[in-house]
Amino acid sequence: MRSLKLIAAAALATVAIAAPASAVTFATFSAIGNGNNFRLNNSGNSGLRTTDVTFVTNTSGTTLAPVDVRFSFTQPGLGLSSFVNNVTASLSITGSAPKGSPVTPIGGSPTGPRTQPNLGGTFTFLSTAPITVQGQLFRTTTFAAGSNLLTATFSSATIAGTGGGNSATFAGTTVTYTSDFLDFENGSNSFTTTLANLTPGLAVTTNAALRAFRARIGGSFNAQYVPVASNAVPEPATWALLLTGFGLVGVAMRRRKTVVAA
């Protein structure tokens, strides 16, 4: 079944969803309401610390607590956006920067640019209710509550803004994805989020890391190659389309061999 799924997905991609040269946004999320849902903690100057900063989802405390957000799939072609559009998802974010990862630049104007480097961690979005997806290009499937909408594992991310500012950008370009809903190819992936309503404003403390703050987070996830629905095993009505796709693949391969031989 797995090989059939991959063959089907390859044919569909050939016919309708050619892989783009640049990344495409396939998922977005936003906060529910105006309250803060993200917390950055500063570990202080203790010689025993192993991290300078940690960060979690939390509406009021300092430890990890999942928060509800609005989540959508937006990738073209396979139609998941019709079924996963502004659904309520449970979001958990957790991560840290290792000890000795100072904000850059050091010194300068108190209102100048500030970047906290070397952040690593995960975003995990879980469904909070059953989701049924159906369409010509994939089998009807119901995903139970608690299914993995998206997990993004990242490293070398940054939080960047200006000193005293009440917003910042949290972004990274070293990201891997998993999902119960989508299959991903290896490629150049990234995420971009906005931290709004920073309280207090962005600042650096005596251990050269960002001062603790609360914020409201929302943003998007990008992939170099358009992901395909994980249940992309076609219904009988689409086999003609698949056969056309196989034919196009064969023609393209023969032409490539001819060009190389010449």
**Assigned token pair, 134:** 């159906």
Tell me what the mean pLDDT of segment 60-75 comes to.
95
- Please count the other Cβ atoms lying within 10 Å of the Cβ belonging to residue 84: 22
* Backbone region of residue 124 per phi and psi (left: phi > 0; alpha: psi in -120 to 50; beta: other values): beta
Cβ atoms of residues 157 and 141 within 8 Å: no
Q: How far, in Å, are 62, 156, 183, 213 from residue 37 at the CA level?
A: 11, 22, 29, 11
> Between residues 158 and 141, which one has the greater pLDDT?
158
Per-residue confidence (pLDDT) for residue 109, from 0 to 100? 83
Per-residue confidence (pLDDT) for residue 50, from 0 to 100? 75
Looking at residue 6, its amino acid is: L
Which range of 16-20, 208-212, 218-222 scores highest in mean pLDDT? It is: 218-222
Chain centroid, CA 248 distance in Å: 32
Q: How does pLDDT run across 108-126, given as a tens digit for each residue?
A: 788 899 999 999 999 999 9
Looking at residue 205, its amino acid is: T
Per-residue confidence (pLDDT) for residue 241, from 0 to 100? 54
> Between residues 89 and 1, which one has the greater pLDDT?
89
Q: How far, in Å, are 12, 36, 96, 101, 199 from residue 195 at the CA level?
A: 37, 9, 16, 20, 10
Instruction: Pick the closest to residue 243 from 13, 11, 14 (CA basis).
Output: 11
Q: Write the DSSP string, 168-221.
A: EEEEESEEEEE-SSEE--SS--EEEEEEEEEES---B-TTSSBPPEEEEEEEEE
Tell me what the mean pLDDT of segment 232-251 comes to.
53
**Residues of the chain above pLDDT 90, percent:** 59
